[in-house]
Structure 1
Amino acid sequence: MRPHHLKHKTLAALAALALGASAHAADVHVVSSGGFAQAYKDLAGPYERASGDHLVAAWGPSMGTTKNAIPARLARGEPIDVVIMVGDALDKLMAEGRLEPGSKVVLANSPIACAVRHGAAQPDIGTVDGLRQAFLHASRVAYSDSASGEYIKRQLLDKLGIRQQMEGKAAQIPATPVGEIIARGEADFGCQQKSELKPVQGIDIVGLMPQEMQLNTQFAGAVVRGAGHPEAARALLRFLAAPANARAIEATGLEPVAAPH
């Protein structure tokens, strides 16, 4: 759902965009990972109305080998103008020459939250021991195949000292949002970026991981090398990063980089 105050908070950004927009309307192809997806959806309409451009959106993980993963889409030459994804993964694509040098725009940071199925007992994960017990007491734990899940798999389980205990009952989920796995009853506890859990029906977010165990994931956008509409792509990124849109981004569970106006 779009934030109620979105219209008022984007006026300055819309005015700036109108001055900088290209003279001819374009079909701008955008691929976003799930962490920024809701913020993008909430801001796409105002951008289209101000610019006259038409946004063609698709979704995919920032990393991994699934068909819709952003690296896989670029590797097979999909016509994409803008990617919005985890910053570290974007930097890797930039180093590989798949994105326009200097076009990276940091949009937001995203903390990891955890959830249970709607109506289920909610563990207290406000402390390190509470988080540890939530993992241990769950019969099946889900985490993603993107940044938050890689962190859980490669670092968090060791930090909590429970890697061996979680073998066989903690699973990395390819492509599908963790919240959907929990809502379907295929896991009774799971963790992912808060912004990815928040739009999912049928779950309750129990809170953020404690600060000592937290990982904030950067989300950023960039122009794809060889994009059909590079100037329109840059205009979209300027709009998404505008301070006037910070509150709309914050409403989706992200921490905006720009100070709100």
Structure 2
Amino acid sequence: MNEQEAVPGVRLMSALVVRAPFDASILPAFEAKGGAVDIEWAPTTVLMDNIEKGARGDAIIVTVPAMDELVQRGIVDAASRVELVDSRIGVAVRAGVEHHDISTVEALVQTLLNARSVAYSLGGASGIYFQKLIAQLGIADQINAKASTIPQGFTARQITEGNADVAIQQISELLVVEGVEVIGPLPEAVQSTTSFSAAAFVGCENADAVAELFDHLRSDASAIAYREKGLELR
């Protein structure tokens, strides 16, 4: 892309998972090259609901299963699809407090049970998985009796607002919130990796700008930015 020529702004619908690296360096670098992006941030489930109601943009970033559905239904252009990042779920606490042990499943269970309140998102992929996990571990009733749940957004804000002392979410999403620390990923035995894809909507009139953006999102510099925020370029 010519640095002297600005491309039309891309209207992007995006899952929250990439917000931290996008805000930190990926989007500023794209804008420095003349690009422009207008982003609607929401969990994949919310974006899919909005699409069902007729919402569209130029491009979208959602989980792989959701993208598979959009391709099958002819809503996005399969030829434009790129695989973007893999994301893991982590645990956060307030910055400066003692880091609880979550190195094993048993330790994780004890940390969750000892917490005053555990925050998770009802609409996000991590929260949907966490609900299944605590049910499998046999602690759903105890956790949900004191949980600080949100419909969507960043769960770690429940820590900074004083509502919870432990937050569960994609690591990259936890890192968006200042004043908290990620104490680690979930133990491998109960970890869930979520993969995300990007694609242009069928009939997109801004295809060249979308292609420029997708190339940038998969660049070596972007790969480094993802890694710094707990993601891995696919």
After TM superposition, the score normalised by the length of structure 1 is 0.80
- Aligned equivalent of 2:166: 189
How far is 1:169 from its partner?
Answer: 1.9
Whether 2:22 is the aligned partner of 1:45: answer no
With 200-209 and 160-169 compared, the bigger mean Cα shift is at 160-169
Deviation, 1:204, is 2.0
Partner of 1:237: 214
How many residues of Structure 1 are paired with residues of Structure 2 in the alignment? 231
Aligned to 2:228: 251
- Give, in whole Å, the separation in 2 of the partners of 1:27 and 1:118: 37
SS in 2 for 1:181: helix
Matched position secondary structure for 2:44 = coil
> Which string of whole-angstrom CA distances, capped at 9 and with x for unpartnered residues, describes residues 22-77 of structure 1?
x8731211122211112223212222333x332222211111xxxxx312333344
> Does 1:221 find its partner at 2:204?
no
Structure 2: gaps (5+ residues): none
- Paired residues of 2:92 and 2:167 also in contact (CA < 8 A): yes
Give yes or no for contact 1:249–1:256 (8 Å, CA) kept in 2.
yes
Alpha-carbon RMSD:
2.2
Choose from 98, 103, 106 the match for 2:80: 103
The counterpart of 1:204, out of the listed 160, 181, 185, is: 181
Q: 1:94 to 1:165 in 2, by over 3 A?
A: same
For the residues of structure 2 that align with 1:177 and 1:245, how far apart are their CA atoms?
Answer: 22
Alignment match, 1:36: 18
Aligned residue identity for 2:231:
L
Q: Secondary structure at the match of 2:159?
A: helix
Measured after TM superposition, the shift of residue 254 of structure 1 is 0.8
| TM-score normalized by the length of structure 2 | 0.89
Offset, 1:99 = 1.3
Q: Which moved more, 1:183-192 or 1:228-237?
A: 228-237
For 1:58, which of 27, 34, 40 is the aligned residue?
A: 40
- Unpaired runs of 5+ residues, structure 1, are 1-17, 64-68
Choose from 81, 86, 92 the match for 2:69: 92
CA distance in 2, matches of 1:220, 1:190: 25
Q: Secondary structure at the match of 1:235?
A: helix
Quote the Cα distance in structure 1 between the aligned partners of 2:95 and 2:161: 10
Note closer, same or farther for the CA distance 1:93–1:182 as it changes in structure 2 (3 Å cut). Answer: farther
Superposed structure 1 runs of 4+ greater than 6 Å apart: none
1:160 aligns with 2:137: yes
How far residue 79 of structure 1 moved from its aligned partner, in angstroms, is 4.7
Distance verdict in 2 for CA 1:169–1:94, change over 3 Å:
farther
Q: Which amino acid is 1:85 matched to?
A: V
Identity of aligned residues (%): 32
Q: For residues 75-96 of structure 1, what are the alpha-carbon distances to aligned partners after superposition, in whole Å with 9 as ceiling and x for unaligned?
A: 3444511112222222223323
Rounded Cα–Cα distance in structure 1 between residues aligned with 2:180 and 2:222: 27
Q: 1:115 to 1:74 in 2, by over 3 A?
A: same
Distance 1:25 1:98 in 2: 24
3-state SS of 1:175 partner: coil
